[in-house]
Chain A
Amino acid sequence: METNGTFEIHAEAEEIVARKDVSYYVSHILFGRVFRIVLLLLFILAILIPIVYIASTSLKEPIEIRVSGALLPTGPITTINWIKAFRNVPLVRYLFNSTVVAFFSTILVLVIAVPTTYSIIRFKTGGWFFPAWILGTYVMPPIVVSIPIFAMVKMVGLQNTLLGLLLVHTMANMPIAVWLMDSYIRAIPKELEQAAWIDGYSKFDTLRRVVFPLIRPGVLATGVICLILSWNEFLFALILTYGVQSNTFPIGISRYVGEHGLQFGEMSAAALAGIVPIYILVFLFSRNLVEGLTRGGVKG
C-alpha cells in the first residue's frame, strides 16, 4: 500500500510539474514563505493586541481613557489606576486567597493523581471502566453538579472558607491531572520496574524511587497546569465563596462589573494583577507546559 501510494504520487506529481497550470502557481503563493510569515505575524499580533491594550489602559490617565481607546497611550503614563485598584478593592486579599487555594489544591492533586495514574496504567486497576469514568467526569459541565456540591460543602460547614474551595478544586482538577500524567507514565519501560521488583522493591517503593524520578517533567507540567486552572477557576468559587475572607481573584474582579461602574483604568490594573503571576509561570515553564498539553492532547 505504501509503495503503491508513493508511486501514484510520483506519477501525478511529474505531470503537474510538466503542466505548470494555475494550481501550480496558486500553491506556490499559498505555500510560499512570504505568505507563511505574514500569517504567523498576524497570529502573534492577534495574541498580543488584547494583552497590550489592557496593559496600556492600566497606565493611561483616566482622562485620556475617556476620550481615546487607542491601543497605546498617547498622553503621559501614570500609576494612579494601579494605586486605586489596590486601594478600592481588597486585591491583595483576593490574590492571597487564590494563592492559598491554588497551591494547596495542586499539592493534593499531585499526591493523589500520580499513584492513581500509575496504578491504572501499570496494574490496569479498575479495568476500562475507571479511566472512562475519569474522562466522563472531565467532560461533564461542572454546573450540572454545582447544586449538590454546594449542598455538601454547606453540610460539612465549609461554605465560604478557603479549605472548602481548595478541596473542591482538588477534586475538580483530579480528572485532568490523571489525564495529563497518563502519557508520561505510559512512556516508562516496564522492564525498569520489573527489575526493581526483582530487587525486592515494593510496588510503592518502585513508584517512589524508580518511576517518580523519570516522570518529574510530567509532574511539573501537571502541577503548573493544575495551579493555573485553580487560580482561574470561576464557577465553584462563585457559588462557594461570598465574602472577602474567601473570595478568590476571579470573583474579586468580577465584582468590578456592576458595583464600581466601568472604571476602565482600575479594571485593567486589577485584571493584570491576577494575570501577571500566571504569565510569569508560563514564561518560566513554557517548554514543560507545551509538552504536557500536547502529549496528552493527541491521543487517539
Chain B
Amino acid sequence: MNATIEKYTPKLMVLPTFVILLIISLVPLIYVLGISFTDSTISKPFNDFIWFENYKKALTDEVFGDSLVNTLIFAFVVTTIQTFLGFVLAFAMQRERKLSGVLRTLALLPLFTPPVAIAMIWRLIYDPNQGMLNYYLVKWGLTNAPIAFLGDKTLAFPSIMLADIWQWTPFCFLLCLAALQSLPRDPYEAAMVDGASAWYVFKRLTLPMVAPQVIVIFLFRFLIALKVFDLIYMLTFGGPGNTTQVASFYIYRVSFKQFQTGYGGALSILVLILISVLATLLTKGRELLLKRVE
C-alpha cells in the first residue's frame, strides 16, 4: 500500500494542476472551438450549427482586422520602448550602489499598482479640463487650448501606450539589471587594465554578453503586451472610433456587450492561432539570431 502511494507520489503531486489546466485551458478551448461554429448568444450556447459562417464574417470584419493590427503595433511599440529604457536605466544603475536599494523598491510600485487604478490616474492626468498634463501645457504656454488626449483619434493610442510604459518599464529595468549583474567580471577587469573607453567596453563586452537575455526579456514582455485589456477598457473603451480597438477588448465587446458568443468564439480562435504562430516564429527567430552571434 505505502509502496504504491510512494510510487505514484510524483503523479499525485501534479494531479491538481493537471485538472486545473484542463479546466482553464483545454476544456475551454474545445468549448470555444465548438461554439465558434454556431450562432450562439450568451443565453443560448450552441444554438445553430452554421459551420464557418463566423470565420467568414471575421475575415471581412474591418474592426477585427484593425484590432489585430492595433494589438501588434501596441505590443511592439511599448515592448521596444520598455526594453530599451529598462536596459539603459539598468546599465546606468549598475555602479550606483546608493540608489540601487531605493530604486529597486520604487520600481515595484508601477508594476504592482492595480491596472484599473493606473488607468484612473492617467485619466486624471490627461483630462482636458482639470488634468495635470493640460494644466502645465497651458501654464507653460506650450499649447493655447487644452488637448483631449484620450478623445483625439491620433493621440488616444500613444496616450494609452504611455500609461503602459509607465507601468512596465520598471519591470524590464529589474530584469535587465539582473541580467547585467549575472555577467562574468573577468573580461571587464582585463579591459579596465588597458584603459579601454567605456563605450568600447560596452560595445565589445557588455552588449554581446547580455544580448541573449535581453532578447528573452523582450519576447516575454511582447507576448504579455498582446493581452492588453484593462487600460483600454478604462481609458478609451476602444474609441474614439475604433482607433484604440485591440483584440482582447474587441472579443470582450462582441461576447459580453453584444452577446454574440459564437462570433466571439471564432475571433478567440483566430487570435489564439495568430499568437501561437507569432510565439513560435519569435522563439525560432531568437534561436537563429543567437546562432549568428556565436
Q: Which residues of A are interface residues toward B (Cβ below 8 A)?
A: 2, 5-6, 9-10, 12-14, 16-17, 23-24, 26-28, 30-31, 35-37, 39-40, 43-44, 46-48, 50-51, 53-54, 57, 65-66, 68-71, 112-113, 115-116, 118-120, 122-123, 125-126, 130, 133-134, 136-137, 139-152, 168, 170-172, 174, 178, 202-204, 207, 228, 231-232, 234-235, 238-239, 249-250, 253-254, 256-257, 262, 264, 267-268, 271-272, 274-275, 278-279, 281-283, 286, 289-290, 293-295, 297-300
Contacts and interface: CB of A to CB of B under 8 A. Distances in A.
Given A17-B197, A24-B197, A115-B13, A53 B125 contact: yes
Among B20, B96, B174, the one with the most A-chain Cβ atoms within 10 Å of its Cβ is B20
A146 B25 contact: no
B187 interface: yes
A234 B264 CA distance: 19
Given A53-B124, A130-B14, A298-B213, A23 B114 contact: no
Given A17-B197, A234-B233, A112 B20 contact: yes
Looking at chain B's contact residues, the main secondary structure is helix
Interface residues of B, number: 113
A2 B105 CA distance: 37
Given A17-B197, A57-B124, A148 B31 contact: yes
The 6 tightest CB contacts between A and B, nearest first, are A27-B199, A13-B196, A69-B135, A31-B198, A294-B178, A145-B28
B21 interface: yes
A6 B20 CA distance: 51
A144 B272 contact: yes
Contacts of A149: 24, 28
Interface string B127-145: 1011111111000000000
Nearest to B95: A36
Contact of B190 (A6, A120, A144): A6
B109 A40 contact: no
Contact of A13 (B5, B28, B99, B197): B197
B121 A286 contact: no
A28 B197 CA distance: 8
A295 B223 CA distance: 19
A116 B17 contact: yes
B179 to A, nearest CB: 5
Nearest to B252: A143
A275 B109 CA distance: 9
A16 B16 contact: no
Contacts, number: 332
A27 B166 contact: no
A147 B9 contact: no
A293 B216 CA distance: 14
A14 B10 CA distance: 59
Contact of A257 (B121, B123, B224): B123
Contacts of B17: 112-113, 116, 134, 174, 178
B140 to A, nearest CB: 12
B175 A297 contact: yes
Contacts of B251: 143-144, 146
Q: Which secondary structure dominates chain A's binding surface?
A: helix
Contacts of A35: 92
A143 B14 contact: no
B200 A286 contact: no
B110 interface: yes
Contact of A298 (B28, B42, B170, B217): B217
21 contacts: A9-B200, A23-B199, A24-B197, A46-B166, A69-B130, A119-B14, A125-B13, A137-B25, A142-B227, A144-B29, A144-B32, A147-B35, A147-B42, A147-B255, A147-B261, A178-B17, A238-B233, A274-B117, A279-B109, A298-B213, A300-B213
A44 B106 contact: yes
Contact of B21 (A113, A122, A134, A272): A134
Interface string B87-105: 0110011011001001111
Given A112-B16, A231-B114, A286-B108, A16 B196 contact: yes
Contacts of A299: 216
B14 A125 contact: yes
Contact of A71 (B21, B130, B132): B132
A120 B95 CA distance: 38
A47 B175 CA distance: 17
Given A13-B200, A267-B124, A282 B89 contact: no
